[in-house]
Chains A and B, each alone.
Chain A
Amino acid sequence: MNLLWLYLLLAKATLTSFSGITSLAIVRNDFVLHYHLLTDQQLTTAIAAGRLAPGPNGVYLVGIGYYLAGYPGAVVGWLALVTPAFLSILLLHWLRRYCDRPGFRRALDSVLLAAAGLSLASALPLAQDAIVDAHGVALVVVALAAFLFTKLDSFWIILVTAALSLLYFAVL
């Protein structure tokens, strides 16, 4: 795989998202749906690994790069992850004059609301793969309740659902 091409596609995802995991929609659209280089299972596994690690949420891109092109791909994924960060320094010069303007804030509001919709749309096919029986439905209800109504870190919630799944497997 051409690493420059991989970098450009991943950077397209990071440069058009405004929080760690909202790049998911573009990554899935490009690598799962369009080029068929990645499966939904690999995508979800990379996200799980990213959430089990400390640090930024967007770090799952390193896992995507690894799945697509091994260790060199992981480095490319990391580069795509960190590239936009340095724009903040330019913005500190340029944007601080504009960031309080209502029009600018409203444009960002629109992007964020649409990005939430894109994340949800990307989660639906992943849900179809991951939730295949009543046990899966029960687990997703537990996970949703834990994310919404407790202050537990996602690390623990992912670990607990994995343990519950193991317990179900062991008992039945």
Chain B
Amino acid sequence: MDVPRFRDLTAIFFRSGSFTLGGGNPIQAALHLELVERRRWLDSAEFALIYGLARFTPGTNVLACSAALAWRLGGWPAAIAAVVAVSVPASLLVLLLLTGYEQTRSNPWVGHAISGALVAVVALIAVSAWKIVKPYAIERRWLRIAILSGGATIALGNGWLSPIAILALAVLAGFALDRLGAK
């Protein structure tokens, strides 16, 4: 396998992060295509290991995946450059959108367009939550879903516990369910 040049490696992360819509999974698919299939800088097993480890990393999975992939190929400078390349263009676009919105929101047309967009965001959050739960639903792990997801919804919705306390309790409840033999 070739050793990638810093500039080429950073350019791949920039292109994958800046021109791929749809969030983490499409970006990681683009990185797999570039790093494994086209350039063969990594083999598929190593990519899969890093992809899996990124799932265990707090925060945004695709940034963790980018940092680890670039570190593996070019050390810390490459990791820092990759994270910057994937996240900064999108961050600048968010700022551009928000400043544009703030300047035009008194316009009723803009207000109506934004109210439509906000409804879509609510749907998006609900569907994102469902996509997390779906694999467990397919395995019919209903008791676990009811206690962990349902319990978290009720506990936060009623303001009984903070989100962090709920996450900590969920880990304990998960182990308790294992002990009880629940799926």
Interface positions of A (Cβ within 8 A of B): 12, 14-26, 29, 33, 41, 44-60, 62-63, 66-67, 71, 74, 77-78, 81-89, 91-92, 95-96, 99, 103-104, 106-124, 126-127, 129-131, 136, 139-140, 143-144, 146-148, 153-155, 157-166, 168-169
Contacts and interface: CB of A to CB of B under 8 A. Distances in A.
B68 interface: yes
A137 to B, nearest CB: 9
B116 A163 contact: yes
Lowest 8 A-B CB distances belong to which pairs? A165-B116, A55-B90, A110-B174, A117-B152, A84-B59, A114-B170, A143-B123, A85-B63
A7 B101 CA distance: 24
Contacts of A103: 175
Nearest to A105: B56
A120 B149 contact: yes
B67 A45 contact: no
Given A86-B83, A120-B129, A162-B114, A140 B63 contact: no
B133 A161 contact: no
Contacts of B62: 20, 56
B44 interface: no
Interface string B139-162: 000001100111111111101001
Given A86-B79, A116-B149, A118-B166, A126 B121 contact: yes
B117 to A, nearest CB: 4
B163 A85 contact: no
Nearest to B153: A117
B24 A126 contact: no
Nearest to A112: B132
B122 A63 contact: no
B87 A115 contact: no
Contacts of B56: 18, 91, 95, 99, 104, 108
Contact of B128 (A21, A81, A104, A164): A21
A71 B92 CA distance: 10
A163 B151 CA distance: 37
B125 A119 contact: yes
Contacts of B87: 55-56, 59, 78, 81-82
Nearest to A144: B123
Nearest to A60: B94
